């Protein structure tokens, strides 16, 4: 499935949106940043909270915790000074680790599972809006989890 994510998704005081490939609003977010902890609520098209992302007040390196429908789902931890190299630890509750390759800052990256299978790719190549980029998620993946991991990556990028 393909999605369009606005870069404003993590802008201070702004609501961001995620559309499907047909232009339908799928998710929107409400976020608080640069407070004591970062917190993002992901809402479905009806305004129901379906996932959250938060960080802890005192933690080094800073990690971002994803919950889906109130259940812990994943932890995303950038290695210190590593966002330029995409050295980020992504660990699901199951213990599975995902790998990020490519350039996060340019929104041109791939997420792979522990076996090297592509989970999702992000690119500006097929998107025409100037303030966003496209995400293509492989069939059979948990789209919301993948999107929340990408939101965590964006949050980490903004926090470096």
Please write the tens of the pLDDT for every residue from 12-32: 455 678 999 898 999 988 775
Within the chain, where are the H helices?
143-159
Q: What is the sign of the dihedral through the CA atoms of 137, 142, 143 and 144?
A: negative
Q: Where are the domains of the chain?
A: 2-159
- Look up the CATH superfamily of 2-159: LURP1-related (2.40.160.200)
pLDDT, tens digit, 9 for 90 and up, residues 45-60: 899 999 999 988 777 7
97: pLDDT strictly greater than 90: yes
Q: CA nearest 120: which of 107, 105, 106?
A: 107
């Amino acid at each position: 499935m393909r999605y369009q994510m606005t870069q404003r998704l993590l802008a201070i005081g702004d609501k961001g949106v995620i559309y499907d490939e047909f232009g339908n609003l799928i998710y929107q977010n409400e976020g608080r940043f640069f407070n004591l902890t970062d917190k993002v609520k992901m809402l479905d098209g009806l305004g129901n909270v379906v996932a959250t992302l938060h960080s802890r007040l005192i933690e080094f390196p800073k990690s971002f915790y994803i919950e889906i429908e109130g259940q812990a789902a994943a932890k995303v931890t950038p290695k210190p000074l590593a966002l330029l190299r995409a050295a980020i630890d992504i660990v699901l509750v199951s213990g599975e680790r995902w790998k990020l390759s490519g350039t996060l800052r340019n929104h041109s990256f791939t997420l792979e599972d522990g076996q090297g299978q592509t989970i999702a790719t992000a690119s500006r190549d097929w998107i025409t809006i100037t303030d966003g980029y496209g995400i293509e998620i492989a069939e059979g993946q948990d789209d919301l989890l993948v999107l929340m991991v990408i939101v965590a990556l964006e949050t980490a990028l903004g926090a470096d």
